[in-house]
Amino acid sequence: MERSQIGAKYDGFLPGRHLIEGYGSGGFSFGGMTHRGSIFATPSGIHAFGATDILLVNELALAPLFAEPAGAVNLLVVGTGLSFVLPPRALRDLLKARGVGVDPMATAHAVATYNILLGESRPVAALLLAAP
């Protein structure tokens, strides 16, 4: 990730809630920054995310979400890449057990949905897998 015009060091985490300003070419822009690769947007901030396949996401990968205070997130919008892929049952069950609904869709649609819900101040997070 590169910090535009501010010069701050980036360590894989940008604090705060940010709209996703752009998506494409394998990355995202938000908070005046660009990032190549997947991201995980939580109420605490946006995290760089190493996964590129929803079928490989597990409980450990969701640690930033589970670190949020109880009730901070009741919906996880999941961008699964260029097309819709249903997350594994174990992942959906894990989220449900923690009181978090999951709404998977292609990443382009997930970005738009996340931005709308964030604009409405809803308790939402987004796991957005980059696509070429």
Indicate which CATH number applies to the domain containing 112.
Answer: 3.40.1230.10
CB atoms < 10 A from the CB of 97, how many? 8
Domain containing 89: what range?
2-128
d(CA 120, CA 16): 16
Please determine, for residue 2, whether its predicted confidence score (pLDDT) is greater than 70.
no
Please determine, for residue 1, whether its predicted confidence score (pLDDT) is greater than 50.
no
Task: Tell me the per-residue pLDDT of 47-101, one tens digit each, with 9 for 90 and over.
Answer: 999 999 999 999 999 999 999 999 999 999 999 999 999 999 999 999 999 999 9
Task: Tell me the per-residue pLDDT of 4-32, one tens digit each, with 9 for 90 and over.
Answer: 333 344 568 999 999 999 999 999 999 99
d(CA 109, CA 6): 30
Strand pairing report for 124-128 and 75-79: parallel
Task: Tell me the per-residue pLDDT of 100-114, one tens digit each, with 9 for 90 and over.
Answer: 999 999 999 999 999
Q: Domains in the chain: how many in total?
A: 1
**108: number of CA atoms within 13 Å, CB side?**
6
Closest C-alpha to 36, from 18, 54, 57, 12: 12
d(CA 110, CA 117): 10
